[in-house]
């Protein structure tokens, strides 16, 4: 595995079962990564609930996910599948999702949302933060997304499988939150096991936390 500080263009991975290759996203890819996530999460049970106005949701999601992507790009562990059809946003062991300055920007952004969205979104992010384990270093899969028009081809899972081979090479566990509980069986196929579950505020959807030990 190439160290996280290596040049972004220096790493590619090829899934042995699926043809497309993956590459590490560069700072100039922030728009395409963000657009992919916005499209994929538009109707996500948790994140659609946290941003309840469907007319405002695309712009709200774009602002929030762009900030999250910018934070993750610091670690050289944001991936794009060939053709930019899928993306995976990881935070490696020892890394943080956001810088302190980005955390302040996110809080201000959420508090500035209109109506019930400010309360829902802020408290949903807080619930995710409380559930996140801190007892062992791990790779954190923050977001996995496929462009809506490319769904059904297995691109997202191919990217996940390719990334997990690098995670296994590093000998580290991995953690994720399934904001759509329907995806839990898919993640279980790739070695994740259910760690716990938490409810989002105000009787919102449940989120399942999952953990994966490295495969030697």
- What pLDDT shows up at residue 4? 27
- What pLDDT shows up at residue 20? 61
The domain spans of the chain are: 13-173
pLDDT at 16 over 50: no
Q: Give pLDDT tens digits for 86-139.
A: 999 999 999 999 999 999 999 999 999 988 889 999 999 999 999 999 999 999
- What pLDDT shows up at residue 151? 81
Q: Give pLDDT tens digits for 148-185.
A: 888 888 889 999 999 999 999 999 999 999 999 999 99
What Å distances lie between residue 16 and 11, 151, 158, CA to CA?
16, 20, 9
- What pLDDT shows up at residue 202? 86
Q: What percent of the chain has pLDDT over 70?
A: 91
Q: Are 209 and 177 in contact (CB under 8 A)?
A: yes
Q: What is the mean pLDDT of residues 145-150?
A: 90
- What pLDDT shows up at residue 158? 93
Average of per-residue pLDDT values in the chain: 89
- What pLDDT shows up at residue 2? 23
Q: Which CATH code for domain 13-173?
A: 3.40.630.30
Q: What is the mean pLDDT of residues 30-50?
A: 96
pLDDT at 38 over 90: yes
Confidence category of residue 26, pLDDT binned at 50, 70, 90: very high
pLDDT at 85 over 60: yes
- What pLDDT shows up at residue 150? 83
pLDDT at 82 over 80: yes
């Amino acid at each position: 595995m190439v160290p996280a500080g290596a040049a972004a263009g220096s790493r590619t991975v090829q899934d042995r079962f699926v043809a497309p290759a993956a590459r590490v996203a560069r700072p100039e890819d922030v728009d395409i990564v963000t657009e992919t996530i916005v499209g994929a999460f538009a109707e996500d049970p948790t994140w659609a609930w946290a941003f309840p106005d469907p007319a405002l949701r695309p712009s709200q999601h774009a602002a929030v996910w762009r900030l999250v992507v910018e934070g993750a790009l610091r670690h050289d562990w944001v991936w794009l599948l060939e053709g930019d059809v899928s993306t995976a946003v990881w935070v490696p062991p020892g890394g943080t999702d956001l810088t302190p300055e980005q955390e302040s920007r996110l809080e201000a952004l959420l508090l500035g949302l209109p109506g019930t969205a400010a309360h829902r979104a802020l408290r949903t992010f807080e619930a995710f933060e409380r559930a996140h384990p801190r007892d062992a270093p791990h790779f954190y899969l923050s977001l996995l997304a496929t462009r809506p028009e490319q769904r059904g081809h297995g691109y997202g899972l191919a990217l996940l499988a390719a990334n997990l081979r690098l995670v296994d090479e590093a000998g580290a566990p991995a953690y994720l939150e399934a904001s759509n509980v329907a995806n839990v069986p898919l993640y279980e196929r790739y070695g994740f096991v259910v760690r716990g579950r938490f409810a989002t505020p105000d009787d919102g959807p449940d989120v399942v936390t999952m953990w994966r030990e490295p495969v030697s």
